[in-house]
Each structure stands twice: as structure tokens, then as C-alpha cells.
Structure 1
Amino acid sequence: MTQSERPNGAYRAVVFDMDGVLVDSEHLWERMWAKFAAARGKTWTAEQTRRVQGMSAPEWSAFLADFSAATESTAETERAVVDDMIAALDGGEIELLPGAERMVTEVAERAPIALASSAPRRLIDAVLDRHGLTRHFSATVSSAEVPKGKPSPDVYLSAADKLGQDPQHCLAVEDSSNGLRAAAAAGMTVVAIPNSGYPPAKDALAKAGYIAADLDDVRLRLVGALPEPVGSSSGHRPTASRKTKESA
């Protein structure tokens, strides 16, 4: 059943991706991968970026180390790239996308929300903290913390579990091919916000229940599918979401 076929209030939680949904960062990941490869005499192209998008940090760092014929270990490769991403964040290069803060705030007033990201834990925590969004999230999951990265559904299934929700009662917001595939495979209804710089494949986009024009469109779609606000505007904690589920 698609989102448009369900009545308002039929969903109980929302799971967001981070890169390309909350923050403008996809191009920075590509820059850092290319920088690492170039320092070792290799040319990183859009083809390599397409191959690693959605991978967990251990997965893409293994690919990058092999592609670059690096002498560094996989862990050292990951650390070098993530250090550069943290530096970019500190330098003000990883900014919220227009409408992201309002979207997160208003959705968190209505239902528990989680993050299911391919970014490593260190960057997830730093991004949410810098932009003052941490308090809104009842759960955050890095794909490095589950068996397989996107397009496997593992990170979305883990997020739903941490929220105490059935994935079929969750909405997911994604921008990339493998992210769309992962959320759909988890059984969630997916709202797509296609990344113009890295447009999703047609087969992946077809898995979305709704394709949004921008984050304001996403916000209105989510708000319309969730119950009316309850509790404080600071968001829901996981225990609150379980009580909501049990009393529904």
C-alpha cells in the first residue's frame, strides 16, 4: 500500500536518511574520495561514486583502499576520509538543506523519528550536534553498525526496531538509488526527494510511494500522514513511541 492510499494518521514513525536529505554533503564525499585516490596516483570518477554510494564506511573504505592501491589499512583509509569530512563540517561546508530544520521539527512533534545513514557514527553525531537536531531524534543508526549497508534493508530495520515500530508503520525519506532500495526492502513507505546532482535510477525511484519536489513538499506529505501533535515539541523518546503503539 502506498502512502497516498492510507488515511491521515496511519503511520507512526519516520526514518530519515542524512546525506542529501538533511544536509548538502554528497558532493563532499565525492571530493574526499577523489582526494584520497589522487594522492595515490589514481583518478576517481563518477562511476566509482555511483558504485560506493549507500555503502557503509567499512565497505566504501575497503573499495577505496583497493581502488587506490593504498598502503593504508581499511580503517586508516576510513579515518583519513572522515577526518576530511569533519574538517569540512567545522569549516561550514556541510549545511542543512533548505527546509530541513522545519521538516525535522514539525515531524518530531507528531511522531518519533530516527536517522538511518550510511555515514559513520562520528560524522552523524557531529552533524546533528552542530545543527542542533540531536534532541529531535529518538534513534540514530549508522550502516556501519549493521551487517550490510544500503541497498540492504538492515539499517532501516534497525532504526524501526530502535523506535519500537513495525517497518510497515514507518515512512522513510531518501534521495539516492541504494537508499530508496533499502527503505523499500525494509517494508517502509518511501518518500523520495531525488538528488539533482546524483539522480536516482528509474527502477529505484519507482519504489517510492511519493516523489517530492523539495523538502517543504516532503514536510507537508509527512505531516499529513501522521497523527496530530502530542507531547512537547522536543520530540519523542523511544519509550513514548512504544506507549503510543500499545495504546493505538
Structure 2
Amino acid sequence: MVNWSTLDTVFLDMDGTLLDLHFDSHFWLEHLPKRYAEQYNLHPQQAKETLIAMIMAERGSLNWYCTDYWSERLSVDINQLKAEVSDRIGYRPHVPDFLATLRRSGLRSVIVTNCHPDPLALKLSRTGLDKHVDAIISSHELGKPKEDPDFWRDLGRKIAYRQQHTLMVDDSFPVLESARRAGIGQCLAILEPDSKQAPNPQHPDIPGIRHFDEVMPALRLHQALPSK
């Protein structure tokens, strides 16, 4: 599923890959509509339908992920509202063990996320995730989301990497397809990003796993092999 012996860099998505997507799903689909309804004296269902329509219109763009954009657009403090439910932020199964094994293997681990820097800081403060990887890059630093084909070129100017010796792990099929078109050597899909939702179907061309324990045996074997 993953040929670890050809790799020197592992790019990792954060939300839905390392962290449980339930936090974000709950926030955008439940908590924000509730608080928006309270602020504007709307029926909760009306608020939810209005917000979902607005959000879906931005899907795939950087605005989709930008808390500054949504705070201004909705006249609410998105970061404050996220902090209200930050107790829901947490790791997906087997992630700490996977990251520790990845580090012991000598492979470079880099979080490559569409998360805006403000909620990113909140998530790092709750999890300490930054202590377990070598670097973190937000797409907001590059001015374009991972879905953009030019993202991967610009990422190379931020952090040098060899495309054919890089693995991208993400729960978003559009992101993985974008990475593959950009020449990333290997891609791996996370099929169960949200602990409260059913797994996603398998992609026809990109291998997928539900949890990292499925690739841990091969990674440990790679770790145990003598250096070339």
C-alpha cells in the first residue's frame, strides 16, 4: 500500500487525517448554525440551511477554509466560537504511535494543511501536535488551497522536497488527485476521517485505509532495516 523504502518525506493533512474531523463537522454543521441563529434571531434550521448554502458556494477555494473570511462575511467571531467547543479536538486512532514511528524511521514528516493559522494555533495548543512533526505549512501562507494545481509548486519554494520520494496522506480525494497530478510519488487516503460518521468509499485509483495501524507493520519493518 505504501512503499516506505522509496520515501524521504511524508506530507500529512491535519483535519480528518491526524485529528478527528468530528470537531470541524460539529462546529460548521451544528455549533455555528446554533450560535448564528441566536445572534440573528433565526429558526435553527433556517440558519443551518442558509449557512450551508453559503459555505458550499466557496468549496475548494481558500475562502472555504478562511476563518477571517467567515468572521467578516457572517459578522461573528469564528475563532471565539471554535474555542467554545475546543474540547472536541482530538487525535484520530493510532496517530501518536504512527508519528513516533515515522520519526524513528528517519523520514521527514510535514503537516500540509488548509487550516487557517488561527484555528491551527488552537488545535496545536490542545494537542501538542507540532511537537511530533518536523514542520507545519498552512496553505494560507501560500495564498492558495491544496486543491490548486499551483500549490505544490509553491510549496516547494517554502520547503524543499523531491516529488517522487514524497507521500501525501489526506482524507480529501480532490487534494490527493491534485497532489498526484503535481507529481507526488505516492498518495494515501484516510477513509474514516470523522469518528461519528460512516467511512468514505474507496477511491478507484488511490489506496485508502481507515486507520494508521494498517500501515504500521510495514513502517516498523522499514524502520528496522539497516541504512543504505
Please state which band the TM-score falls in when normalised by the shorter chain: 0.7 to 0.9
Question: CA separation in 2, counterparts of 1:200 and 1:48?
Answer: 24
TM-score under structure 1 normalisation?
Answer: 0.67
Q: Which residue of 2 aligns with 1:13?
A: 9
Question: CA separation in 2, counterparts of 1:220 and 1:157?
Answer: 32
Question: CA separation in 1, counterparts of 2:72 and 2:187?
Answer: 36
Which stretch shows the higher mean deviation, 14-23 or 122-131? 122-131
TM-score under structure 2 normalisation?
Answer: 0.72
Query: SS state of the match for residue 176, structure 2?
Result: helix
Which of 177, 180, 185 is the matching residue for 2:181? Answer: 185
User: Which blocks of at least 5 consecutive residues in structure 2 are unaligned?
Assistant: none
Query: SS state of the match for residue 44, structure 1?
Result: helix
Q: Which residue of 2 aligns with 1:103?
A: 98
One-letter code of the match for 1:213? Answer: R
Whether contact under 8 Å (2:65, 2:115) holds in the other structure is: no
Q: Which residue of 2 aligns with 1:211?
A: 208
After the TM superposition, which residues 93-172 of structure 1 pair with which residues of structure 2 at under 5 Å, given as runs?
A: 93-110=88-105, 111-159=107-155, 161-172=157-168
Tell me: CA distance 1:60–1:137, structure 2 relative to 1, closer, same or farther (3 Å): closer
User: Which blocks of at least 5 consecutive residues in structure 1 are unaligned?
Assistant: 66-71, 231-247
Over aligned residues, Cα RMSD in angstroms?
3.7
Whether contact under 8 Å (1:139, 1:163) holds in the other structure is: no
Q: In the TM superposition, what is the alpha-carbon distance from 1:176 to its structure 2 partner?
A: 2.3
Question: CA separation in 2, counterparts of 1:96 and 1:207?
Answer: 27
Whether contact under 8 Å (1:118, 1:144) holds in the other structure is: yes
Question: CA separation in 1, counterparts of 2:33 and 2:116?
Answer: 18
CA displacement, residues 81-137 of structure 1 (integer Å, 9 cap, x when unaligned): 222223322xx2101111111111211222111111121112223323432221232
Question: CA separation in 2, counterparts of 1:229 and 1:74?
Answer: 55
After the TM superposition, which residues 62-101 of structure 1 pair with which residues of structure 2 at under 5 Å, given as runs?
A: 73-74=72-73, 80-89=77-86, 92-101=87-96
After the TM superposition, which residues 221-232 of structure 1 pair with which residues of structure 2 at under 5 Å, given as runs?
A: none
Whether contact under 8 Å (2:170, 2:188) holds in the other structure is: yes
